[in-house]
Amino acid sequence: MAFIQGAWKILVAMKDGLALLFLLLFFALLFAALRAGPNPASVRDGALLIDLNGFISEQPEAVDPLIPLLTGEQPIREYRQRDIIRALKLAETDQKVKAVVLDLDSFLGGGQSSLAAIGDAIDRVKKAGKPVYSFATAYSDDGYQLAAHATQIWMDPLGGVLISGLGGTQPYYKGLLDRLGIKANVYRVGTFKSAVEPFTRRDQSPEAEAAIKAVYDEIWGQWQADVAKARPAARLTGLLNQPAASIEAAQGDLAQLAVRDRLVDKLGDRIAFGKFIAAKVGGDAAKTTGGYAATPMTALLAANDPSDNGDPIGVITVAGTLVDGKAGPGTAAGDTVANLIYDAIEDKDIKALVVRVDSPGGSVLASEKVRLALQAAKQKKLPIVVSMANLAASGGYWVAMPADVIFAQPSTLTGSIGIFGILPSGAQALANIGINTDGVKTTPLSGEPDILGGFSPEFDRVMQSVIENGYRDFLGRVAAARGKSVEQIDAIGQGRVWAGGTARRLGLVDRLGGMDEALAEAASRAKLKDGAWHPQYFEPAPKGWAALLGDAAPAAKAAVPMDLFARAAWAREEQWRRISADIQMLSGSDGAQIRCLECSAIAGTPVFLRRSAGSNKAEAGWFGAILRAAFAKP
């Protein structure tokens, strides 16, 4: 009995200790959250500092603040495009802001449309008479596109400018699947629906090559035009057309090459850059070595709430892959987005809706739920305007169909009107290790789909017929929405991707323009006068610890690549993440898809990496077991 009493006391003490530890951890996290949050009082005379330590996205994914504590790694941040543009707009008139500093040392990129919009905002700051300075150890495509708009570009002497342009290779898995004895059963419609080609071919089809090359050429031309207009003195021809010869002629000194070709203005490390900025806007008493008076972007935004004058125009964001069910920010979950639209409809003050789409598509059912919600808004006579960001392809286009007007940017990826389904089967893989299947059927579809024994011809015919019906439905909906015949839409459909400028000429979108133009159009259709309206954003709330502690975790900087070699290594890691996402799609059970996977190489956003990050779906089940066995070390 004494032993039991002693053991009980030990258990109670352990329980009390754990409770106390949990409380201490909770208050420590709460304190960190309060300290990490933006402080409006920190706005001061000096520079506006826009430090982009990660990606630019339309709707940042919620970050769980516990992840850094549990893993020891900081997540890579995402910065909302509209926040950056609003901060730059505030800088135009804020008397405390003497200059803008773009810290692009850890910038990982963003979509072409986002970069162009931010570049325009930078130009407006300069037009207001305020200089913009950029610094980075090294510049690649996306970073240089932003830097080109700066008044002066600084670069570390150990860095360089290396522009790779659009394009590259992607993995094809047909050879691996044949070797493993796995068959990818594909049901699709669309000559150009190349999302499934990695599982059915060993190389790119001529149709896919022609379609993607046309989009590459159009968007790459826009990149070059933007940089040439922003920085006409820059001589990029040699570096773009003959990079090896140009770099060898400079004896491998990328920094001197950048100065010679007027790609950058000054070479200097971060300390020298800081001293230069301090001479322009004032020093920082707390950091006398390389410090300068600066206001972080978050503080400036916190000190200046968005205007709420006039009537509200509801803004719904469809960002990320369209998936079934509910999810937090950064994922376009059908139920979540649809419910936000219904909330906006029920708000009697809302005079119009603007739907901002940045999605490669995804689940047919999720896309249809969002479309039906917008159709309900249309039935209530609410004007609906769609603003396409970097991506509005496949399911992203599906949800745009109810709009009264569709805006796109010249570099927006849209179209991809097609549908597919894909299921793996492994009869040969099992036979290779001595496992066979047999059984009795009562109907032609008994036991189908037979993942282990192989699909029957009857099942294949059923699935292909269903997919073809889905494509006809897609065509009919687009034709009705765009006032065209089914044959006309089929001619520009077939799963082909188009850039925004071409999509406008084809009639898939109505006008070229960004979010400002879309909001102005919505206000006009709602008969609201200039200055008598404001945007009201309906967005999913973060869940769990992310909702409680907010931005405590992202306040620290993630370890991101800064020099050219580190960025090259990081790009290879992203390729492996892409492979993981492809395998996840093959082995997952996401239903029929209207998704543009071929857009991932063009979009320049983290949209395509989110669902694979931290996921073990690709390693689950029999398919994952076969893959692990195939790649296991002897």
Nearest Cα to 451, choosing from 426, 430, 431?
A: 426
pLDDT over threshold 50, residue 177: yes
Distance CA 296, CA 283 (A): 15
Q: What is the pLDDT of residues 53-108, one digit of tens each?
A: 989 999 988 766 666 656 666 677 899 999 999 999 999 999 999 999 999 999 99
Tallying the residues shown for the chain, one arrives at 634
Structure tokens at 517: 């133009």
> Could you tell me where the beta strands, DSSP code E, fall in 492-592?
497-499, 511-512, 533-538
Tally of CB atoms within 10 A around 291:
16
Q: Is the pLDDT of residue 443 over 50?
A: yes
CA angle (604 as vertex; 64, 76 as ends), nearest 5: 25
User: pLDDT digit string (tens) for 586-614?
Assistant: 666 556 677 776 676 566 555 544 543 33
Q: Is residue 449 within 8 Å of residue 625, measured between CB atoms? A: no
State residue 28's pLDDT score: 59
Q: Given 194, 359, 394, 425, which residue is catalytic?
A: 394
Q: DSSP letters of 43-97? A: --SEEEEEE--EEEESSPPP--THHHHHHS-PPPEEEEHHHHHHHHHHHHH-TTE
Distance CA 357, CA 518 (A): 12
From the list 310, 328, 401, the residue with the least C-alpha distance to 361 is 401
Cis peptide before 424 (omega within 30 of 0): no
Largest Cα span, the chain: 89
Angle of helix 334-346 versus helix 364-379 axis, rounded to 10: 10
| Domains of the chain by start residue, with CATH | 37-163+236-303 (3.90.226.10), 167-201+311-530+563-634 (3.90.226.10)
Crossing angle of helices 564-587/621-631, nearest 10°?
130
Least confident range of 10-14, 88-92, 360-364: 10-14
- Cα separations (Å) of 16 from 27, 145, 561, 569? 17, 56, 44, 48
- Checking DSSP bridges between strand 419-425 and strand 183-189, what pairing results, if any? antiparallel
307 contact partners, CB below 8 Å, separation of at least 6: 534
pLDDT tens across 275-303, in order? 999 999 999 888 878 899 999 999 999 99
At residue 423, the pLDDT reads 82
Please, what is the Cα angle at 579 between 575 and 585, to 5 degrees?
Answer: 140
DSSP H or E stretch at residue 295: strand 294-296
359 as an active site residue: the answer is no
CB atoms closer than 10 angstroms to residue 534:
16
| Token output for 127 | 């037009």
Segment of 13-17, 205-209, 525-529 carrying the highest mean pLDDT: 525-529
**Weakest-pLDDT range from 247-256, 449-458, 565-574:** 565-574
Q: Which amino acid is at 301?
A: L
Burial 221-254 (b: 16+ CB within 10 A, else e): ebbbebbeebbeebebebbeeeeeebbeebeeeb
Q: Is 571:109 a contact under the CB 8 Å cutoff?
A: no
How far is Cα 624 from Cα 381, in angstroms, rounded to an integer?
Answer: 50
CA distance 97 to 280: 11
Residue of 182, 173, 175 whose CA lies nearest to 430: 182
Percent of the chain predicted with pLDDT > 70: 78
The two three-digit tokens of residue 454, written as one number: 């192989």
pLDDT band at 447 (very low <50, low <70, confident <90, very high): confident
Would residue 134 show up in a list of annotated catalytic residues for this protein? Answer: no
Burial label for 17, CB within 10 Å (0-12, 13-18, 19+), is exposed
Neighbouring CB atoms inside 10 A of 124's CB total 14
Among residues 193, 351, 369, 617, which one is catalytic? 193
User: Of 429, 401, 424, 431, which is closest to residue 414 (Cα–Cα)?
Assistant: 401
Most confident by average pLDDT, 127-136, 284-293, 464-473? 127-136
Quickly state the pLDDT bin for 619 (edges 50, 70, 90). very low
The phi, psi pair for 65, rounded to 5°, reads -65, -15
Query: Per-residue pLDDT averaged across 213-238, rounded?
Result: 94
